[in-house]
Amino acid sequence: MMKGYGLKRCATILLMLFCAAITAHAETNKGAPENPLIEEMRLLDGVYAEIVNAVALNNPVAALEAIERLESSGLMEKTVAGVSSGAIKTPKNSDKLSDFTRFDKEFHANLALLAKAAAAKDQPRLLSFTKKLLDGCVKCHRTYRK
């Protein structure tokens, strides 16, 4: 009697542990983006919208916070490393990556200047670099996005 009960309980606990492990595994894989470039782009999409709002409403602190969110994600470095190692393929012109690296560098340099303007609460410069960034999105997409 007691032995059977113990076995049953043991089986139940094992089943629960198994289910917990499966759930944990599913959680970590949930909505995993295809690659760091796409992950970076999705984050950048929201960050850029926040920057546009911040400039329109003259709220440089909000712009700075948005940029910091992108920088602290570590995705920019992962993208650069993935593209140069060939682990990430751009949908178009993936054999001509020298321009990608250049566009990316220009973009991030403008982002750094934007952060500087935001820190200085310099709205005219904030506006000018926000427009430059948009040029950067379009330029890179025209060449490397399908």
Interface with ligand HEC (CB under 6 A) = 37-38, 41-42, 44-45, 48, 90-91, 100, 103-104, 107, 133, 136-137, 140-141, 144-145
In the complex, the smallest distance separating the C-beta of residue 26 from ligand HEC, rounded to whole angstroms, is: 22
Query: Rounded CA gap, 66 and 44, in Å?
Result: 9
CB contact at 8 A, 20 and 98 = no
* Residue number with CB closer to ligand HEC (116 or 137): 137
In the complex, the smallest distance separating the C-beta of residue 80 from ligand HEC, rounded to whole angstroms, is: 9
In the complex, the smallest distance separating the C-beta of residue 1 from ligand HEC, rounded to whole angstroms, is: 59
* Residue number with CB closer to ligand HEC (74 or 91): 91
Which residues are within 8 A (CB) of 118 and not within 5 positions of it... i.e. 6 or more apart? 54, 60, 61, 63, 64, 67, 126
Query: Rounded CA gap, 5 and 61, in Å?
Result: 63
